[in-house]
Structure 1
Amino acid sequence: MASHPGIALALFLASQRPGGRSRAERRLQRELAAGREDADRGSERLGATSLPRPPGPLVWLHVGSEAEALGIPELIDRLREERDDLGVLITTARHGPDELLAARLPRDVALQFSPYGTGPGVDTFLQHWRPDLAVWADNRLEPALIEAAGRAGIEMFLVDARVPERPGWRWFPGLRRALLKRFSHVLAGDERAAAGLRALGVAEDRIEAMGFLQEGTAPLPCSQAERDTIAEILAARPVWLAAGATAGEVQMVVEAHRQAMRGAHRLLLVLVPDPLEDGPALAAALEADGWVVGLRSGDDEPEPEVEIFVADLGDELGLWYRLSPISLMGGTLMGEQGARNPFEAAALGSAVLFGPHLGLWRESYERLRDAGAARAVADTASLARAVEFLLSPDKVAEMAAAAWEVTTSGAEATDRIVALVIEALDKRGV
């Protein structure tokens, strides 16, 4: 069994060479047959592309999947604030059914699937794109791709880093250590991850615990005058928000509100329906059910007697997140539509509640939950209990502080990688 890192890497790569191209082609056919690859873009897995390399300096950003790359658009914006001549290539290791990332990228950013690690695809890929440096944001380290980039003289930074997974590396115990040596700098997601990476040999002067890249959601705007006016109406009244509640979720939300009001009779529910056009009909139905309702589009205000306030005007979520210390993220309870980005609420100091259907935002919800900034609920009863729990000012303040820490550390991590990239490009003279 290999123990020396360099030997482990050499042995692993040697094990991948026999029949490399045919193995890669057979794998592609299997993945296509299983529906796990895009038939129109399968050739990218073999290193081929129809896209030209952009002129000038090129930064290569590698991510695990589109759903895990939510901080990448913000990083690109920040990089181009510093260097407007930068070309950007993004590769994803794992294919998913959605195209969340593609919809958020500038049109001139190249988005490709990374080549398989067997056969000549890796070399074909690097010869075509010739990136000036690479930012690796995937917890799964691809030995062939990383080693080939190192041989080509491409400086690499590892970001959003945790202790890397070991997919099928049982017989190569030094492999992770060898691959980590290929990165000139490592930005760990937290101190625990940094400790694990140091134990794998990452030198102290090459690692920082900086948090994860910023999620790319700038705080939603609102009118400060409007916020102050409504805050004065609410006074010290307890408030919680259901942001983008779908038709199927409304009944669960309203019933949870009914249960929570037993212990807090002044509690106000701000209900933002999805779609907003349902607001007037929803308000009428709630009134018919005996609730005292206010309707935003009807010029109502959340007066003291109002129990449910239907906020059905567009572009006002920034206002309600600021006013509501507790936010249930719509779309997560029933899964009828896509879940909302939880950083909308977290960035504005609102504790996040979410159901089991997280869709493309799973990584973000789990990140906030692990940081103590979000709490999972499963049904009406658990939602009511969570709201009741967070009506305690110290509990909700604790979650809001955790949310603030996650969002601000993300900005710091983004700023740090921008600084590293620009410095590296300057050193290369590109």
Structure 2
Amino acid sequence: MRYAPGLQLYLAQQKRRGLAWCETQIRVHKEDPLRIRERLGETSQQRPVGPLIWFHAGGESEAMALSELISRLMLERDDLNFLITTTRHIEKHQQEQILMGQALHQYAPCDTPQTVARFLDHWRPDMAIWVDRELHPALITCVFERQVPMVMIDARMSDEAQQKWRWRPGMARNLLRCFQHILAADGASARNFKRLGFPPENVEVTGFLQEGGAPLNCVQSERDDLAALLAARPVWLGVNVTAKELDVVVDAHRKVVRRSHRLLLLLNPTDLVDGPKIAEDLRADGWIVAVRSQEEEPDQETQIMICDTPGELGLWYHLSPVTFIGQTFYGDDPRNPHEAAALGSAILFGPNPARYRERFNRLEEAHAARRVSTPVKLAYELEHLLAPDKAAALATAAWEVSTAGADVTDRVSRLIFDTLDEVGV
């Protein structure tokens, strides 16, 4: 491929800048000081033996969609190895949640030919899969020149981004044509990729990757026993509720229970060990409380059930037609909303969905979840959803969003295996 003048100029400029420029950029952006060498294309990690699939994601939000896909690929071929690179910093605990012991993580090399060459010399990927919304010219062209097959999945190109690339049409066309196939997340993105010069026959609208994973399990006999005890009472769940959010949730319950006297709150605190103390405080405040860890069952008089035993979230989601996701008012580590969505629970969440922002936004756009902008509005939205038809409509939409990505994951898996077959890996 003959590169456009703009791309040639960029690559020449980046080559002149070299390693010293990269080190300056790393210091300016205060990147992980313990892993700076990775941004220079170096690593202390050994390349695993066998085929290696490399996923390049921009940051946490893009990387989080990969765990279900990687699980699916591992089921088909247990000889495959996986590397995930990101350009943006990811905290260690978030890396563990994303990788789940299934892949290696490295920070992507700076976008210069020298650093990318170092990276590729070491890792020698058999296939590259682009999940980043940014196009890094040196990284893309170096992979292409080494004849590593490269596809773009979960691909998004907004109208605004397309307009920016429109001023460099030759450069955009060169970069996109380094990819063999693009699986676009939506029709607008597919249209914009075509406008920038990618062959229309190689663009496919698939939707978003599956993000929820398998639904959480529960013991069916326990679910049936508890459902019988509740005897069709209206129920809602506050999951992963922080100490600061406790008053928010309980105040909302107090307001709604005045008009819905049989309403039961299932309260799952962030720190499960705090369950008995929370129950003690609530009882002092006049509430009738049962505590799961103390083997107490909810009777018809129980107003709040403390759900403080580990490994039972699937049970509570199953029983609750409405779920408020904690740590979305105060905190920074909410539960994955697809856990509730996959089990048919309508979702309420606060204004700060943190690392799951994109997933919450997608559910909200699909009328599958409702954002509660202030604590005062939680009671209003809760009361609205207690009408069975309202909760059912929201829960159905949430389930559809949560599970629709399974077909996308299947399609991406087929594309990856077909590509590996073509190159004999």
Q: TM-score, normalised by structure 1?
A: 0.90
**Structure 1 pair 262–174 and aligned structure 2 pair: CA distance change class (3 A):** farther
**Structure 1 pair 415–108 and aligned structure 2 pair: CA distance change class (3 A):** closer
Contact 1:67 1:101 in 2 (8 A): no
Q: Which residue of 1 aligns with 2:338?
A: 343
Q: Which amino acid aligns with 1:45?
A: R
* CA offsets 1:174-203 (integer angstroms, 9 cap, x no match): 443443332222222233433443444444
Consecutive unaligned residues of structure 1, counting only runs of 5 or more, are: none
Choose from 26, 29, 48 the match for 1:31: 26
Contact 2:26 2:36 in 1 (8 A): no
Tell me the CA shift for residue 171 of structure 1. 4.0
Contact 2:209 2:409 in 1 (8 A): yes
Q: TM-score, normalised by structure 2?
A: 0.91
* CA offsets 1:15-39 (integer angstroms, 9 cap, x no match): 342363535533432432442x112
**Structure 1 pair 237–197 and aligned structure 2 pair: CA distance change class (3 A):** farther
Q: Which residue of 2 aligns with 1:370?
A: 365
Contact 1:22 1:119 in 2 (8 A): no
Question: Are 2:71 and 1:83 aligned?
Answer: no
**Using the alignment, how far apart are the partners of 2:163 and 2:83 within structure 1?**
26
Tell me the CA shift for residue 63 of structure 1. 0.5
1:9-408 residue pairs with structure 2 within 5 A? 9-18=4-13, 20=15, 22=17, 24-35=19-30, 37-105=31-99, 107=101, 109-163=103-157, 165=161, 169=165, 171-215=167-211, 217-335=213-331, 338-408=333-403
**Using the alignment, how far apart are the partners of 2:101 and 2:304 within structure 1?**
43
Tell me the CA shift for residue 399 of structure 1. 1.9
**Using the alignment, how far apart are the partners of 1:108 and 1:69 within structure 2?**
13
What secondary structure is seen at the aligned counterpart in 2 of 1:312?
coil
Contact 2:184 2:206 in 1 (8 A): yes
Of the structure 1 ranges 78-87 and 259-268, higher mean CA displacement relative to structure 2 is found in 259-268
Of the structure 1 ranges 417-426 and 11-20, higher mean CA displacement relative to structure 2 is found in 11-20
* CA offsets 1:250-306 (integer angstroms, 9 cap, x no match): 111000111222342322211112211222221222122122222223333332222
**Structure 1 pair 259–33 and aligned structure 2 pair: CA distance change class (3 A):** same
Contact 1:24 1:119 in 2 (8 A): no
**Using the alignment, how far apart are the partners of 2:7 and 2:62 within structure 1?**
27
What secondary structure is seen at the aligned counterpart in 2 of 1:429?
coil
**Using the alignment, how far apart are the partners of 1:271 and 1:106 within structure 2?**
28
What secondary structure is seen at the aligned counterpart in 1 of 2:189?
helix
RMSD: 2.5
* CA offsets 1:107-156 (integer angstroms, 9 cap, x no match): 57332111222241122222322211111111112122112212221211
**Using the alignment, how far apart are the partners of 1:345 and 1:176 within structure 2?**
40
Contact 1:252 1:379 in 2 (8 A): no
**Identity of paired residues, percent?**
47
**Structure 1 pair 180–402 and aligned structure 2 pair: CA distance change class (3 A):** farther
What secondary structure is seen at the aligned counterpart in 2 of 1:408?
helix
Contact 1:17 1:118 in 2 (8 A): no
Question: Are 2:418 and 1:423 aligned?
Answer: yes
Q: Which amino acid aligns with 1:136?
A: W
What secondary structure is seen at the aligned counterpart in 1 of 2:405?
helix
Q: Which amino acid aligns with 1:41?
A: R
Of the structure 1 ranges 216-225 and 185-194, higher mean CA displacement relative to structure 2 is found in 185-194
**Structure 1 pair 311–54 and aligned structure 2 pair: CA distance change class (3 A):** closer
**Using the alignment, how far apart are the partners of 2:186 and 2:224 within structure 1?**
37
What secondary structure is seen at the aligned counterpart in 2 of 1:120?
helix
Contact 2:212 2:339 in 1 (8 A): no
What secondary structure is seen at the aligned counterpart in 2 of 1:187?
strand
**Using the alignment, how far apart are the partners of 1:220 and 1:108 within structure 2?**
19
What secondary structure is seen at the aligned counterpart in 2 of 1:50?
coil
Tell me the CA shift for residue 391 of structure 1. 1.6
Contact 2:6 2:170 in 1 (8 A): no
Tell me the CA shift for residue 214 of structure 1. 2.1
**Using the alignment, how far apart are the partners of 2:264 and 2:203 within structure 1?**
47
Q: Which amino acid aligns with 1:427?
A: E
Tell me the CA shift for residue 319 of structure 1. 0.5
Tell me the CA shift for residue 216 of structure 1. 5.3
**Using the alignment, how far apart are the partners of 1:200 and 1:428 within structure 2?**
28
Tell me the CA shift for residue 160 of structure 1. 1.1
Contact 2:267 2:307 in 1 (8 A): yes
* CA offsets 1:55-112 (integer angstroms, 9 cap, x no match): 2221111111134311222222211211111122211121244441345436573321
**Using the alignment, how far apart are the partners of 2:376 and 2:405 within structure 1?**
33
Of the structure 1 ranges 325-334 and 64-73, higher mean CA displacement relative to structure 2 is found in 64-73
Consecutive unaligned residues of structure 2, counting only runs of 5 or more, are: none
Larger helix share, 1 or 2: 2
Of the structure 1 ranges 246-255 and 395-404, higher mean CA displacement relative to structure 2 is found in 395-404
What secondary structure is seen at the aligned counterpart in 1 of 2:64?
coil
